[in-house]
Amino acid sequence: MGLYRLLATMVCAFGLLWAAPLAAQPLPLKSLTCTAGAESASAAFDIPRGQLRCSGKRFSHRDRFVRTFVEVPSRLLPGSKGLVWQTEASDFSSMLVRFTYADGTQRLIDVDRQMAARNWFAGNRFSVPIPDEAARLVAVDTVVERPYSAATTAKARILTQARSAEAHYLRSLAYVLVIGLLILPLIYDLLFYRILRQPFVLWHLGMVGAMTCYTLLQSGLIFELLPDLELGLRWRATALAFVLALSSAVMVVRGLIEDRLLSHGINAALIVAAMIPILVKIVALIGGEALRITVNAWLMASLVPSALMVAVAVALALSRGSRGARWAALGLSVLMAVGLLRLLVALGLVEFGFALEDGVFVAMVVLAIFTSLGVGDRFLALRDDRDQARTQAIRLGQMANTDGLTGLANRRAFDMVARLKSGQGLLLADIDRFKAVNDEHGHQVGDAVLCHVAAILRDALNEQSGARVYRLGGEEFAIVADTVDGQELMQLAEKLRLTLIRVDGAESPVDLPAVTVSIGAVMGQGQLMHQAFADADAALYRAKDGGRDCSVLYNAGTAKRHGGRLYDTMDPA
């Protein structure tokens, strides 16, 4: 349900974006505009009308000063009073706008760069109020010094101040909604990256962050935060944010597609394709006058390799059943369509309305949302893979540290215990005369006896604090358990020895030969385990020499008896 609500919000936001320009009913001047170039503003204004170019690629002048002239038909004028003239807010050095009225009156307005920033209109435009005169407006003359985009001279229009204010409000509201929709994936990425530190999550964070910056800059909302932002800086930052967003999108697509589905060549080509627009933008920033008018067309053209490589990668991944490629394809569908139209417009191959700029925001939000869903899906897949790998590693570790016959911890696990700590005791238990059991009854019965003894030891130690049983090999077992002193350790040893005798006695439900164990014990004093093992082993041999079926503690003291069985102490000296 959350996704449907999000999509509904998108529809409302973009409904406002598309409805606003319709409500404004502007008069586009591009088809009515004639142009010329000159080396000074006065020379540009003095160019006879007959020498102006009124068709073809007339907006691509590389002259320092570019003049545009529009004769305004009365039947197309939105009204006679309260009008504004608007154009694209790309960078320029200076601008003069001259309004001519039917009675011959002329009004000249000097548009400085900060005036363009102060009079911003929602979207990449700014407004110049048209002075009210008794006579109607018949012509608009502009001279722009060093325009950095042909759109500055090509995208002029006239509309009423009332409808401009209405469109400005609606469009500003729509852009705020767009930014809100983009902030959600930003939070989403930050939360995901705390759990899954994968590069594609960072690329997605960078992509959505660049999209948010682009929206702030392109919409003009940045002037609400930074009212004194320089016009040229805003124009360059907008283009840079756009390039970074699309280059990051290429890397996001690469990250969403499962590694095994793309060859190293395709992956390398995607990285190169993502870098090309950034390199072109760097060249554009330092290219200066030589690339002033053509920079936008070059920038759009640099996106072609990225689009082609992404299309190839997504198509290949889809053919191989990639889940991530499905989300990428859904997210890129609108962007590809809008990008193709923008490229065609930049190359002058097609004409398209003002709403094309809004299509970029639609495409960005669609891309951000669907790739966010792809990030989530990829996250779940990687988490499942990671959990399976961990489970497998645990299983392998358990198998490596588990005795295959008895299910107890094995010698490898025992060797991982570095020291016998104070408050711990070590018991070494050895089945008495086990070779005779194998010789008389066979190895199959011998294995059954080992399993039987292992089960008795494990069950007898269930309630013993910190106890763990190891099979060291053959008929030898080790027990590490928490004990207060040697007396308690010997009581535990006797408990195990006597439990085995009782279970193997007359009440035994197991049809196996009865066996006994000899036990050597040592108390922990923080000594290395190999030293503790050597001491316990010496005590075990003393138990064997003392007649078997007894327990011996390695410690200073004198001989004692316990339960009718002899056990003694052993002086380490």
Lowest mean pLDDT among 55-59, 64-68, 91-95, 102-106: 55-59
Instruction: Among 172-176, 461-465, 487-491, name the one with the lowest average pLDDT.
Output: 461-465
Which pLDDT score, from 0 to 100, does residue 70 have? 94
Assign 8 a pLDDT band (cuts: 50, 70, 90).
Answer: low
Structure tokens at 154: 């090509």
158: which residues sit within 8 A by CB, 6+ positions away?
Answer: 26, 27, 29, 72, 77, 78, 83, 84, 85, 86, 130, 137, 140
Q: What percent of the chain has pLDDT over 70?
A: 85
Residue 177: predicted pLDDT? 92
DSSP readout, 100-158?
A: EETTS-EEEEEE-HHHHHHTEETTTEEEEEPPP-SSPEEEEEEEEES-S-THHHHS-EE
CB distance 339 to 347 below 8 Å: no
Sign for the CA dihedral angle at 216, 222, 355, 17 comes to positive
Q: What is the mean pLDDT of the chain?
A: 83
Q: Which two tokens stand for residue 367?
A: 């891309």
pLDDT at 21 over 70: no
Query: In this prediction, what percent of the chain has a pLDDT beyond 90?
Result: 38
**Looking at the chain, which residues constitute the CATH 3.30.70.270 domain(s)?**
411-567
With cut-offs at 50, 70 and 90, classify the pLDDT of residue 529: very high
Q: What is the mean pLDDT of residues 407-412?
A: 90
Per-residue model confidence (pLDDT) at position 353: 53
What CATH architecture does domain 411-567 belong to? 2-Layer Sandwich (3.30)
Class (C level, CATH) for 172-393: mainly alpha
**Which pLDDT score, from 0 to 100, does residue 352 have?**
59
Between the CA of residue 67 and those of 124, 157, 276, 540, what are the distances in Å?
21, 16, 34, 107
Could you report the per-residue pLDDT of 255-291, keeping only the tens digit for each?
888 878 888 888 899 999 889 888 888 877 776 665 6
Whether the Cβ atoms of residue 144 and residue 90 lie closer than 8 Å to each other = no
The CATH class that applies to domain 25-163 reads: mainly beta
Other residues' Cβ atoms within 10 Å of the Cβ of residue 481:
19
| Residue corresponding to tokens 């944010």 | 241
Q: Tokens in use for 116?
A: 């363009």
Q: What is the largest CA-CA distance in the chain?
A: 134
* Averaged pLDDT, 100-118: 90
From 453, 537, 562, select the one nearest 501 (Cα to Cα). Answer: 453
d(CA 573, CA 571): 5
Query: What are φ and ψ of residue 461, in 5° steps?
Result: -100, 10
Bigger pLDDT: 449 vs 57: 449
Comma-separated ranges of CATH 2.60.40.2380 domains in the chain: 25-163
pLDDT tens digits, one per residue of 162-178: 888 998 999 999 999 99
- What per-residue confidence (pLDDT) applies to 86? 93
Ranges of CATH 1.20.1070.10 domains, the chain: 172-393
Please state which of the ranges 19-28, 64-73, 82-91, 485-494 shows the lowest mean pLDDT.
19-28
DSSP, res 259: G
Q: State the pLDDT at residue 127.
A: 92
Nearest to 533 by CA among 484, 571, 476, 495: 476
Report helix, strand or coil for 179.
helix
pLDDT at 566: 38
Nearest-angstrom CA–CA distance, 454 and 408: 7
Helix H or strand E segment including 159: strand 157-160
Residue 351 has pLDDT above 70, yes or no: no
Q: What pTM was estimated for this model as a whole?
A: 0.66
